[in-house]
Amino acid sequence: MNDAEDSVAERKMQFLFALRSKGVTNPTVLTAMERIDRGPFVKGLFADRAYEDTPLPIACGQTISQPSVVGLMTQALEVSPRDKVLEVGTGSGYQAAILSLLARRIYTVDRHKRLVREARTVFESMDLVNITAFTSDGSFGLPDQAPFDRIIVTAAAEDPPGPLLAQLKIGGIMVLPVGQSDTVQSLIRVRRTETGFDYDEIRPVRFVPLIEGIARDN
């Protein structure tokens, strides 16, 4: 192994250690996060920080979440290989890429055309053929593809959006941040039962707000 390979291997070990130390312990999730390189999803000035456990700016005023939060959200989602998953908030595409190794089918939506376009390019370069990315208003979900086994939302709403709850299968799980401001948010897990919804709180987080409508960018 040469010096460059040593450096990559060491960086990967540090990356996985950081995930474990923050509570990401599911072996399947850790394996997926080891296989999906975060590097291609971080561009420009911040590319050399791709392997730090920190959120980083991406285009359209959005962020790529810190890996440990991605791991905790993925772990809380309890994805199985037969699941059909909806992600609201494609962003860089990093979260969808990890989910693509765990589930049968991923549908991901974002209100920014540019982010969807760039994410598709990365998915194609990684040969992730089970992801379909759309530009659409994520607060309404994807009624044409519903119901979903799992739903993950990577932007914060005051409460879980009604259309998304309605598109969750009975027995399904949704993981999302909720909160009335960008300073007080909680990551929660919602399970749909025969009689309603059960909620549990995972940890405090900070996410960009969930905004209705399609963004006016290219």
d(CA 180, CA 160): 12
> What's the pLDDT band for 212 if we cut at 50, 70, 90?
confident
Distance CA 158, CA 177 (A): 9
| DSSP per-residue letters across 140-178 | G--GGG--EEEEEE-SBBSS--HHHHHTEEEEEEEEEEE
C-alpha 9/C-alpha 119 separation (Å) is: 26
Question: Of 91, 124, 88, nearest to 106 (Cα)?
Answer: 88
Torsion, Cα of 7, 8, 9, 10 (10° steps)? 50
Q: Give me the residue label for tokens 């130390």.
A: 21
Residues 6+ apart with CB under 8 A from 32: 74, 98, 101, 102
What are the respective helix, strand and coil percentages of the chain, to the nearest 5?
A: 40, 25, 35
Could you count the other beta carbons within 10 Å of the beta carbon of residue 160? 18
Active-site residue identified among 7, 65, 68, 181: 65
Residues 55-104: tens digit of each pLDDT:
998 988 888 999 999 999 999 999 999 999 999 999 999 999 999 999 99
pLDDT tens-place string over residues 162-201: 999 999 999 999 999 998 766 779 999 999 999 999 999 9
Q: Is 7 a catalytic residue?
A: no
